[in-house]
Amino acid sequence: MSKKRIYEVAKELGVKNQQVIDVLQKHNIEAKNNFNAIDEKAIDIVKKALKGNDKPKAKAEQNGHQDKGGHGAQNNRAQDTRANEDRNHDNRNNGGKQNHRKQSEKQEARHNDRHEKRDNNRDGNRKHDNAKNEGRHGNGHDNNRGNDSNRGNDSNRNERNDRRNKRGDNHGDDRRGKNDNRNDRRNRKDKKNKRDGNRPQSLLSTSLAKSKNKVKQRNEQNRQHKEEEKRRAEAAIATAIELDGPLTVKELADKMGREVSEIIKKLMFLGVMATINQEIDVDTATIVAEDFGVEVTEVEPAEDPTEIKEIEDAPETLQPRPPVVTIMGHVDHGKTSLLDVIRQTNVTAHEAGGITQHIGAYMVRYKGNKITFLDTPGHEAFTAMRLRGAQSTDIAVLVVAADDGVMPQTIEAINHAKSANVPVLVAINKMDKPGANPDHVKQQLAEHGLLPEEWGGDTIMVPVSAKKRQGIDDLLENILLVAEVMELKANPNRHAQGVVIEAKLDKGRGPVCTVLVQKGTLRVGDTIIAGTAFGKVRAMTNERGEKVKAARPSMPVEVLGLSDVPQAGEIMDAVDDNEARTIAEKRIEKQRVSEMQKTHKVTLDDIFNQIQQGELKDLNIIIKADVQGSVEALRQSLEAIKNPEVRIVIVHAAVGAINESDVMLASASNAIIIGFNVRPDALVRKAAEKENVDLRTYRVIYDAINDVENAMRGMLTPEFKEVILGRAEVRQVISTPKAIVAGSYVTEGKITNNSEIRLIRDGIVVHEGKVDSLRRFKDEVKEVKSSFECGISIEKYRDIKEGDVIEAYVMEEITPQL
């Protein structure tokens, strides 16, 4: 039984694809899109169901044609009564061609039709000429009366022509045609003479000859150019292509040696609306290619020589592994104390002899189980590692001081963990303190999406005191409980794979790095590669400085033997001896190329393109504002923006200045940062530049919403760009009868006397205005550069305080790019 695709059946029946799909679905035959193939039985059903539609449609089309023709005829008649014969003649022919073009549906048919039509037109023209001349028999005067521009001499001439034509009737069509042409030419020439007015005849003829020559030359050049293009295009058109996976319309066009527009047209014909950079699947690409007569072979995707092939571990090879825990929380809430107390509590007598070393992670044994703790507390380190693509943590322990409650970094930590999909377990620390209020902490955490178990939520919250060593057992037991639920497993019997936790260059030992083994077993003598560093494992030690021969999943070990210092977060793989060097060399090359291209992060300017290319499904945003009310207003307004292709996700929203942790989170989660009435300091700005994070600050909420909305619609048209000139720190406030002078020290760039400024207090913009006067000692100056002191007074503003920062900037107009 031969099958046909839906669009082919629709094409045959002259109906829309959807009509066929509708019929099939009515008969419970599976039909999802135009490319689904259906069997003969289904084709029969469709034919029967749509035959009725088919005929009237064809009829309607015929009627349409007739109608159009009728209109055309009427038009022509109407035009006939208008005067200018030359124009009417052309209009009629064009009208005929246009109508005819509308009629044809199939490309090939269109081509043939055009040939036929051209012949018909030629006949038509002849008939039309006859009609025209016949018309002149009776209405010659009328025609001329209508032609304003041909009054006077022209009308006499036309009358003469008409009379000549009347006589010419006897000489048959050809002769009539010639007369017409001659008349036309004469009319045109008369008009031109009128236009040229009093220009001397000789000059006119030479300039005419010149322009004729030019036109000739140009035509010849065009012809040669077109021939050359055609020759090249024919040479480039492929007859067979290989497809190794989805590709963009442009890539397909390039492969086939065809114009992108041809591919888009073909896709439209198949019912697929695609843009140049849109990705199409192999099936669609195959259909398009085959429609062009190109043979398609599907091949295996090419392997990336810099990637180490991921081995899928069979479920039966997996064995339970210890959990890896990161401790996060606000500054001074007791992260380090907790890590220390856990480490000491669980050191058994015989291990106590070893000297505890900081290697970046340690493993504790608790009631026959093991738990690995990453030793660098804080969500920044955690996210920095994530930035390199490494998910090193299974469980995050969020430390919150019972007397202090939820603080800005607590919220940051929650959002960092959430963004990485890591479960959070809360340790409510400092329970020994008189002001400890765990219920208040729980309440606050609940407001940030962490609902305690006892209140019906799923977050375990354990009260502890690092100082008094209380609640530590409870905490460890709960960590094991969460781990048990997570069923953490890995295959220990394979090539090792892990993540670099820390790395440094040791004077005596060379490059040293701590690896957390995640899969397989790492052994002394293994050849390893981490990023662009490679080598043989010379020795391994644990956090107590003891020699280790083999490290199984979840075990951290310090490794010696690499050629170079890898970066933290880099993936380490044990590979075959000869592989390491070649892969490392290829990675160095890849790194060089990608550094040149710079990473592609989402920016407001580019959102629309990324949406169009299907690269962006979620638009992640981090909000920082001066007060909670603004944070909420921004969050609600941004979340209210509706776009069918993109969902707005607020990754983090908080009160306060934009800090480095925001930039890291933005970078790791491909988010943009929107600051309202807050500013990043110089370090943060540099970090954002380095990480290519789009960081925008606003003074009006509406502007922020507008920018995001417009960016999503591809209509963001920044007319001005803010350029920061420099910053000065206010070190002394001097009150004079005229103004308040900020005795300042320029910390970066320069401050000029005509720059706009913003006054920043603790990262929050308290005022925006202009410099009133800028002085060095007693003199008014135009600018003061970095590392110099100066006196700045601000136009109509007096509330300046020591420690404030004055940021100078100018608005530069962006010239639109054509």
Question: Would you tell me which residues interact with ligand GTP (CB under 6 A)?
Answer: 329, 331-337, 377, 429-430, 432-433, 465-467
CA pair distance 443, 460, nearest whole angstrom: 14
Token pair belonging to 45: 């059903």
Strand partners for 571: 499
Question: What's the closest the beta carbon of residue 403 comes to ligand GTP, in angstroms?
Answer: 8
Q: Which is nearer to ligand GTP, 236 or 331 (CB)?
A: 331
Judged by CB, which is closer to ligand GTP: 327, or 741?
Answer: 327
Q: Which residues are part of a known binding site?
A: 329-336, 375-379, 429-432
Q: How would you class 200 by CB atoms within 10 Å of its CB: exposed for 0-12, middle for 13-18, buried for 19 or more?
A: exposed
Q: In the bound complex, what is the minimum distance in angstroms from residue 327's beta carbon to ligand GTP?
A: 8
CB nearer to ligand GTP: give 429 or 677.
Answer: 429
Closer to ligand GTP by Cβ: residue 255 or 467: 467
Helix (H) or strand (E) holding 721: strand 720-735
Q: Which of 684, 637, 638, 678 is nearest to 665 (CA)?
A: 684
Nearer to ligand GTP, 258 or 379 (CB): 379
- Kindly tell me which of 405 and 566 has the beta carbon lying closer to ligand GTP: 405
Q: Quote the least distance from Cβ 376 to ligand GTP, whole Å.
A: 10
Cα torsion angle, 656, 662, 663, 669, sign: negative
Q: Which two tokens stand for residue 371?
A: 């738990």
State the Cα–Cα distance between residues 687 and 380, nearest whole angstrom: 13
Residues whose CB falls within 8 Å of the CB of residue 735, separated by 6 or more in sequence, listed in order: 741
CB of 652 to ligand GTP, least distance (A): 19
Identify which of 655, 511, 669, 549 has the alpha carbon closest to the alpha carbon of residue 601: 669
At its nearest, how many Å lie between ligand GTP and the CB of residue 414? 15
Shortest Cβ distance from residue 405 to ligand GTP (Å)?
Answer: 14
Least separation in angstroms between CB 465 and ligand GTP: 4
Q: How far is CA 432 from each of CA 331, 334, 342, 410, 479, rounded to the nearest angstrom?
A: 18, 13, 17, 20, 22
Q: Which is nearer to ligand GTP, 121 or 393 (CB)?
A: 393
**Binding-site residue ranges for GTP:** 329-336, 375-379, 429-432
With respect to ligand GTP, which residue has the nearer C-beta, 373 or 534? Answer: 373
Instruction: Please check whether residue 459 is in contact with residue 425, taking contact to mean a CB–CB distance below 8 angstroms.
Output: yes
Question: Burial level of 236, CB count in 10 A (0-12/13-18/19+)?
Answer: exposed
Q: What angle do CA 513, 515, 518 make, to 5 degrees?
A: 165
Query: Within 13 Å of residue 645, how many CA atoms lie on the same side as its CB?
Result: 14
Which tokens sit at 434?
A: 């008189």
In the complex, least distance from residue 417 CB atom to ligand GTP, rounded to whole angstroms: 16
Q: Please identify, using beta-carbon distances, which residue of 89 and 330 lies nearer to ligand GTP.
A: 330
Distance of closest approach, residue 788 Cβ to ligand GTP, in angstroms:
35
Task: Kindly write down the DSSP assignment for every residue of 93-148, as one continuous string.
Answer: HHHHHHHHHHH--SHHHHHHHHHHHHHHHHHHHHHHHHHHHHHHHHHHHHHHHH-G
